[in-house]
């Protein structure tokens, strides 16, 4: 049995690239993952990112990432109920992929800069 058999299928094909794009291929999802990797944990922190993600889309992407076991949420306040978000082990495995994307952008996309955490590695 494959370890992913209990996970929801995203696929329109058996191609791994297509399946990854089904989860992460929109304009916002990887930016939410990036922000988590840079230490953001609370809803308001994500909403303050310079890209200006609309709050309804942010809520949807956090929910989708949680359903895919990339993100976990924990309550930090009971009244009103508020959550902090963090990457799971599965989510943290995306770090080298995002680092590779940042390195590629530095090389090929004029005006790209590197986030402070990633400056050490390149």
| Domain total of the chain | 1
Whole-angstrom distance, CA of residue 39 vs CA of residue 118: 13
Whole-angstrom distance, CA of residue 31 vs CA of residue 120: 20
The answer to whether residue 6 sits within a structural domain is: no
| Cα distances (angstroms) measured from residue 97 to each of 21, 24, 105 | 13, 12, 12
Handedness of CA 54, 60, 63, 69 (dihedral sign): negative
Mean pLDDT of the chain: 87
The answer to whether residue 57 sits within a structural domain is: yes
Phi, psi for residue 14 in degrees, rounded to 5 = -80, 5
| Residues 51-97: tens digit of each pLDDT | 999 999 999 999 999 999 999 999 999 999 999 999 999 999 999 99
Instruction: Provide the CATH number for the domain around residue 20.
Output: 1.10.10.10
The answer to whether residue 9 sits within a structural domain is: no
| Residues 38-47: tens digit of each pLDDT | 999 999 999 9
The answer to whether residue 1 sits within a structural domain is: no
Q: Does residue 103 surpass a pLDDT of 60?
A: yes
The answer to whether residue 101 sits within a structural domain is: yes
E strand residue ranges, 8-88: 71-77, 82-87
**What domain range includes position 98?**
16-119
Q: Are 84 and 76 in contact (CB under 8 A)?
A: yes
The answer to whether residue 29 sits within a structural domain is: yes
């Amino acid at each position: 049995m494959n370890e992913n058999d209990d996970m929801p299928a995203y696929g329109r094909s058996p191609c791994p690239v297509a399946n990854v794009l089904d989860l992460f291929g929109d304009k916002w999802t990887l930016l939410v993952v990036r922000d988590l990797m840079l230490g953001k944990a609370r809803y308001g922190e994500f909403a303050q990112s310079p890209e200006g993600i609309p709050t309804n889309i942010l809520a949807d992407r956090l929910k989708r990432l949680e359903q895919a076991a990339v993100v976990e949420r924990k309550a930090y306040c009971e009244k009103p109920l508020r959550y902090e978000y963090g990457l799971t082990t599965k989510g943290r495995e995306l770090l080298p992929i995002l680092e590779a994307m940042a390195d590629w952008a530095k090389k090929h996309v004029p005006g790209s800069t590197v986030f402070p955490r990633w400056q050490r590695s390149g």
